């Protein structure tokens, strides 16, 4: 188990270094361009050169990367080239917003898609057709379209929820709940569709195995067969699927954050990338990489915990 853990950690570290090196090189390779972006249209060549020195962009790229990497471990990711705000401070404000959206969505997704997926696979018939129909619809509609419809229906036409904005739970728990309700529903449509389809497939696969027939022949109740054995067998693919859904939600959250004007990582990444605020972009990339690696690690670890066979891989 320890070896499995160490292997997964080493793999994650490799992915982290690869992604950050490539992203950093792409973002910082044109120092004059970065400096000019911070100065605006009317900057002269001397202004650009002076700004490059101020921002440390005149140094070799490798030195700049190692400096940034050192900052990752000391908690100093530099300041925004435009607003001067510390990147770590911006991330501390924004990561919880995105995570509260995605984690709430994943938790609800797990509950609903497990129920729907198991019911569809086990009972078949009209239940299966209904689940598959809604799964197809949900997978086809992008989250931002759902978001726009929800805002119109439940914020503008019928003012039940706020159209935009985010309330921190430290200020008001009910305010926080109402501010994330519509964004979470917008994300849920697609994620439940994907989750239910994955669970249905995994449960169908488990139900077709020989051991299920053997268990039934031994006289085990259907409840015990499904809950103790089929679900356990299906949990491996299910966990991987939910891990991927969580990662996919980070992409969906980007658009949903824009529609609901939520100050999350997605909004930060879009605005920073548009402006050319490279330290902020790197901060956004760093947080997304870390979230993706942690989710993958937890999915792998949970799978290994539930399924001894997975530990050997």
Partner 1 sequence: MRTTMRRTLAVLAVPAAAAIALAGCTAGGTENNNGSGDSSTLSLGMTADLTGGWDVVDQPPYQGWGVEAVYDNLVRCMPGGGLEPAAAESFEISDDRRSFTAVLRDGMEYSDGSAVDAASVQASFEVIKETASDRYGDITFDVPDEKTITITWPDPQPLMELRVCLPWIASTEYLASENRAAAPVGSGPYTLDQGASTSGSIYSLVKNPDFWNADAYPYERLELRVLADETASLNALKTGQIDGTIITAGSYEEAENAGLNISSSGTGLTMLHLTDRLGEKIPALGNVDVRRAMNMVLDKQSIVDSLYDGHAEPIWQPFQKGHEAYIEDLEEPYPYDVEKAKQLMADAGFEDGFTFTVPTMEGQAWTVMLPYVKQQLAELNITVEETALSGPDAIAELLSGDYPVPLWTVGGISSLEDASIHILPTGFWNVSHQSDPTVEALWQQILTADDEQRVELQQELNQYVIDQAWFVPILSPDNLYASGDGVTVDEISDPFGLHPRLIDFK
Comparison of 46 and 210: residue with beta carbon closer to partner 1: 46
Measured from the CB atom, the residue of 57 and 193 that comes closer to partner 1 is 57
C-beta pairs of 252-256 under 8 Å, 24+ apart in sequence = 252/142, 252/143, 252/187, 252/190, 252/191, 253/98, 253/101, 253/102, 253/183, 253/187, 255/142, 255/143, 255/144, 255/147, 256/101, 256/143, 256/144, 256/147, 256/183, 256/186, 256/187
- State in angstroms the smallest separation of the CB of 132 from partner 1: 25
Shortest distance in whole angstroms from residue 165 CB to partner 1: 4
Instruction: Give whichever of 209 and 228 is closer to partner 1, judged by the CB atom.
Output: 228
Provide the token pair at 268. Answer: 């930060």
- Quick one: 96 or 248, whose CB is closer to partner 1? 96
Q: What are phi and psi of 86, to 5 degrees?
A: -65, 135
> In angstroms, what is the minimal distance from the CB of 85 to partner 1?
5
Residue 127 token pair? 């239940």
Phi, psi of 79 (to 5 degrees): -115, 155
CB of 169 to partner 1, least distance (A): 4
Of 128 and 187, the one with the shorter C-beta distance to partner 1 is 187
Compute the least distance from the CB of residue 129 to partner 1, in Å.
Answer: 28
């Amino acid at each position: 188990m320890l070896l499995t853990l160490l292997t997964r950690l080493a793999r994650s570290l490799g992915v982290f270094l690869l992604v950050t090196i490539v992203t950093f090189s792409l973002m910082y390779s044109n120092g004059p361009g970065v400096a000019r972006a911070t100065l605006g249209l009317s900057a002269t060549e001397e202004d650009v050169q002076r700004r490059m020195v101020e921002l440390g962009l005149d140094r070799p790229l490798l030195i700049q990367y190692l400096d940034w990497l050192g900052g990752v471990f000391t908690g100093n990711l530099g300041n925004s080239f435009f607003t001067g705000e510390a990147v770590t401070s911006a991330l501390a404000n924004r990561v919880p917003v995105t995570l509260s959206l995605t984690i709430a969505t994943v938790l609800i997704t797990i509950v609903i898609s497990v129920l729907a997926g198991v019911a569809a696979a086990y009972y078949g018939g009209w239940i299966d057709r209904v689940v598959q129909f809604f799964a197809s619809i949900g997978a086809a509609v992008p989250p931002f379209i759902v978001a726009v419809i929800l805002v119109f229906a439940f914020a503008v036409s019928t003012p039940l929820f706020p159209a935009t904005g985010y309330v921190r739970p430290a200020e008001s728990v009910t305010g926080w709940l109402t501010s994330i309700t519509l964004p979470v529903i917008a994300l849920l449509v697609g994620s439940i569709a994907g989750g239910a389809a994955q669970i249905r497939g995994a449960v169908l696969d488990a139900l077709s195995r020989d051991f299920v027939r053997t268990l039934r022949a031994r006289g085990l109740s259907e409840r015990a067969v499904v809950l103790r054995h089929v679900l356990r067998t299906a949990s491996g693919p299910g966990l991987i699927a939910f891990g991927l859904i969580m990662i996919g939600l980070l992409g969906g959250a980007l658009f949903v954050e824009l529609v609901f004007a939520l100050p999350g990582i997605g909004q930060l990444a879009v605005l920073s990338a548009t402006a050319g605020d490279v330290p902020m972009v790197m901060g956004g990339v760093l947080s997304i990489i870390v979230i993706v690696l942690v989710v993958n690690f937890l999915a792998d670890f949970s799978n290994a915990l539930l399924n001894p066979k997975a530990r050997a891989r």
